[in-house]
Amino acid sequence: GRKPKDINLEQIPTIPLNRRSTIRSLAWQLGCSPTTLHQKFMLKLIKRHTNYLKPTLNEKNKKDRMKFCLS
């Protein structure tokens, strides 16, 4: 098969977070195609990171949600 493209993965932490939030934007910053970057994710050479913590509701939002559910 075709040989894998060699991209510099050590460059990723130097890219600002707002410029590497999607595969497409990160690929553009690295100068490769999104497909190449997707293959690196599938080979587990790059780890995805998401925030699983959701913001908690304050008292006003809880009351508004209860009013909506009761209506």
What local confidence, expressed as pLDDT, does residue 40 receive? 92
The SS3 of residue 69 is helix
Among residues 59, 2, 65, which one has the least CA distance to residue 33? 2
- How many CB atoms neighbour CB 37 within 10 A? 22
Instruction: Answer whether 11's CB lies under 8 Å from 26's CB.
Output: no
- pTM, two decimals, is 0.65
The fraction of the chain above a pLDDT of 70, given in percent, is 100
Q: Domain residues of the chain, as ranges?
A: 9-70
Using pLDDT thresholds of 50, 70 and 90, give the confidence band for residue 57. Answer: confident
CA gap 29, 10 in Å, rounded? 13
